Structure 1
Amino acid sequence: MDKISVLLVEDEDVLAMIIAETLGKRGFEIKIARNGVEGWSKFNQLKPDICIIDVMMPRKDGISLLQDIRKVDEFIPVIFLTAKSQTEDVLKGFEAGADDYMKKPFSMEELILRLRSILRRKISAAITTPSPVGNSCQIGPYQFNHKKLELTFENSTIALSQREGDLLALLLQHKNSILDRSTALLKLWGDDNVFNARSMDVYISRLRKHFVRDDNVKILNIRNQGYKIMD
C-alpha cells in the first residue's frame, strides 16, 4: 500500500522538522514548503493526499493558499495550524475550505489522530456521494447537468464546483421537501460537526447566487431542520 503523502506548509523550521520526523515514523510521506508561494508550487507538483498549512506565513498566508487550492481541488483534506485563537479566525479558515483547525502548541499524537480521522471521513464521503438526478434536469428556467457540473440559464452557462454540483443534486432529490442538515453533512462531508455545517452554509450561499436571475427559484433555510429548494 502506498504511503499517504502530506504537504506541510510551515515557516517555523523547528516545528516543521518535528512534524515531518514524527509523521515520517508513522508511515506518512512528508514534503515541506517554507511559505505560501512555495506551498502552492509544491501542491501542483506533488498532488498530495492531505495538506497541513500554517495560517501566518510570509509571501502568501495560509488562507490565501487554501483559496487557491480550492479553485482546483474541492476535496483534498486540509488542516490549519495557527497561534491565533479568536473565533473569527477559526471561521475564516473554515469558510476558506479548511477541514480542521489546530492551535499551537499542540500534541503530535492529536495531530496524527486528526489526520487519520479526516482521511476516514473523506473516504466515507466519497463512497456516499449522491448519484446524479439524471444527466440533466430543469429548475425553473435553469437547466442543471450534474455530470458536466453545469447550470445553464438561457444562453449562459455557469460552471459549478464538484461540491456545488453534489449539493444541488442532493437538494433536487428532495425537491419541494426538506433536506435534513445532518443527512446532507454526513453524505457530502462525512461528519455533521459544527465546522462542516458552517462550510455547507457557505456552499448554500454560493448556490443561491447562481439562481438570482429568477425570483421563483429559492433555496429556503428551514430553521432547525435543513434546506428546501423550490421553483
Structure 2
Amino acid sequence: MTEQITILLAEDEIALGTIIKESLESRGFLVLYAENGIVALDIYQTKKPNILVLDVMMPKKDGFSLAREIRVEDKTTPIIFLTSKSQTKDVLEGFSQGGNDYLKKPFSMEELIVRINSLLDRIRLTKTNQFITIGNYGFNHIKQELIFNNETTRLTHREAELLFHLAEKRNDLLDRSLILKKIWGDDDFFNTRSMDVFISKLRKKLKKDENIKILNIRGFGYKLICKD
C-alpha cells in the first residue's frame, strides 16, 4: 500500500485555505491546516509532514520566519511559498530562507499539485543520489553542502537542485527550458533571469577548482565541465 502524503498548509485566508485543503484532499493527500505561523510550527513539530505549503504574509509568524526556524533542524522537507508578492527580491528572499518553490497568487490548483508532485519526486530521487564528486569537490545533495579540502560551504535549496541536475549531465548540455520547468515550474523570462543569478552563485562557489566551469550555451542551456 502506498503511504499517504501529508501536507502542512498554512494560509490565513480561511476561504482560500479551505478551497486548497479540499482540492488537495480530493487528490488523495492528507492535509493539516493552520491559520497562522504559530499553529503551523506546532503542527510541523508534532506531525512531521512530507511537504509544507506556506503563505508568506501570515499573522503571528510569517512564512519566511517559519521556514527559517524549520530549516535550522530540517534541511530536506520541501517548502512551497504562496504569495501575492512578485518582485525579484521577494522571490530570492523566499529561496534564501529555504524555500524550494514559489507560487504567485492567484494560481490554479493544477499548478500547485504539479509542483507538489515534482518536489516529492525530486526528494525520492535524491535519497538514492546523496553524495556526488564534482572535480575536487564533494557534493552532498541531501545536506546541500559542497566540500573542498575539508571546508564545507552551505547551498540554498535552489542552488543544490540546480547543481544536482548540472552534475547529472556533466560535460553535456542541460536544456534551459527543461530545467526551468522542472525546478522553477515555468520557463518564462522572469524565471530565466532568476536561474541566471543562481548559475552565477554556483560559479563562485566552485571557483576553487579551476578545472570546473559552467558554460552558458546561448539559446540552449548550460554545461558543467569537469573531470570525473
Normalised by the shorter chain, which TM-score bucket?
A: 0.5 to 0.7
Alignment-derived partner of residue 55 in structure 2? 54
With normalisation by structure 2, the TM-score equals 0.66
User: Structure 2: which 5+ residue stretches go unaligned?
Assistant: none
**What pairs with 1:91-106 in structure 2 (closer than 5 Å)?**
91-92=91-92, 95-96=95-96, 97-103=99-105
TM-score of the two chains, using structure 1 as the length reference: 0.65
Report the aligned-residue RMSD: 4.3
Q: What number of residue pairs does the alignment pair up?
A: 220
Q: Please say if residues 76 and 142 of structure 2, whose CA atoms lie closer than 8 Å, have aligned partners that are also in contact.
A: no
Could you say which residue in structure 1 is the equivalent of 2:221? 226
Which of the two has higher C-alpha Rg? 1
User: Partners in 1 of 2:168 and 2:42 — Cα distance?
Assistant: 39
- Structure 1 residue runs of 5 or longer lacking an equivalent are none
Q: Give the CA deviation at 1:62.
A: 1.7
Matches within 5 A, 1:1-231: 2-13=3-14, 15-17=16-18, 19-20=20-21, 24=25, 27-69=28-70, 72-74=74-76, 76=78, 78-80=80-82, 82=83, 84=84, 86-88=86-88, 91-92=91-92, 95-96=95-96, 97-103=99-105, 110-111=108-109, 113-125=110-122, 137=133, 139=135, 142-145=136-139, 151-158=146-153, 164=159, 167-185=162-180, 189=183, 191=185, 193-194=187-188, 200-201=195-196, 203-214=198-209, 217-230=212-225
TM-fit CA distance, 1:86: 4.3
The Cα offsets for residues 169-202 of structure 1, whole Å up to 9 and x where unpaired, read as: 543454444322234456x639554476566545
User: Which residue type is aligned with residue 143 of structure 1?
Assistant: Y
Give per-residue Cα distances to partners, 1:110-137, cap 9 Å, x unaligned: 43x33432233345545766985x9664
CA distance in 2 between partners of 1:183 and 1:151 (Å):
25
- CA offsets per residue over residues 80-139 of structure 1, 9 Å max, x none? 1x4x354447634764535352425x7xxx43x33432233345545766985x966452
What is the alpha-carbon distance in structure 2 between the residues aligned to residue 177 and residue 228 of structure 1?
6
Cα deviation per residue 1:120-173 (whole Å; 9 max; x = unaligned)?
A: 3345545766985x966452xx33255786533234233557765564354345
One-letter code aligned to 2:138: F
